[in-house]
Amino acid sequence: MSTQSWRDHFTLLSDGEPAEAWCAAADGEEAWVVLEAAPQDVVRTGELPAEGVLSQAPLGDYDVIELSVFAKPAARIRWRSDEEEGGAISEVAPVGGVEIADATRAALVEAALDELWQEGAERVWTVIPEAQAAGYLAAGWEQRERVTHG
């Protein structure tokens, strides 16, 4: 996936945020990181809460997986697949101010990776806050860029 391509994917995943909003981050600047992985190569470490249930729905330009706990939405992740470019997933978004544990965040990412792999994606990209990158890198993601959003 090219630099412009991941930006285009994230324009759709963010409901129209302009691709030009992402630019290279300077050293020391608060940043997001662009990560890439082969879906089948990411180490699975996620764990859902005992009461957690995942549901999935197509929503036009992307699909969504939602985690509910005791029938209340707790977190969502979006993804989209492109036959030529692979796939892209959003960061995990908490719903209603719920705190999301790292293992739960990983389980949602892994669920999206599994869906993308089933759709034929050989490579998947994501853009996440730099503070969350260590867990992704330990699971087999590779960092491609440091960017800022502005």
For 94-134, write each residue's pLDDT tens digit: 998 888 999 999 999 999 999 999 988 899 999 999 999 99
3-state secondary structure at position 22: strand
Domain boundaries, the chain: 3-149
pLDDT (tens digit per residue) in 22-54? 788 888 888 899 999 999 999 999 999 999 999
- The residues, any chain, with a CB within 8 Å of residue 21's CB and separated by 6 or more, are 149, 150
Q: What is the pTM of this model?
A: 0.88
For 3-149, CATH gives 3.40.630.30
Q: Comparing C-alpha atoms, which of 143, 144, 123, 125 is closest to residue 135? A: 143
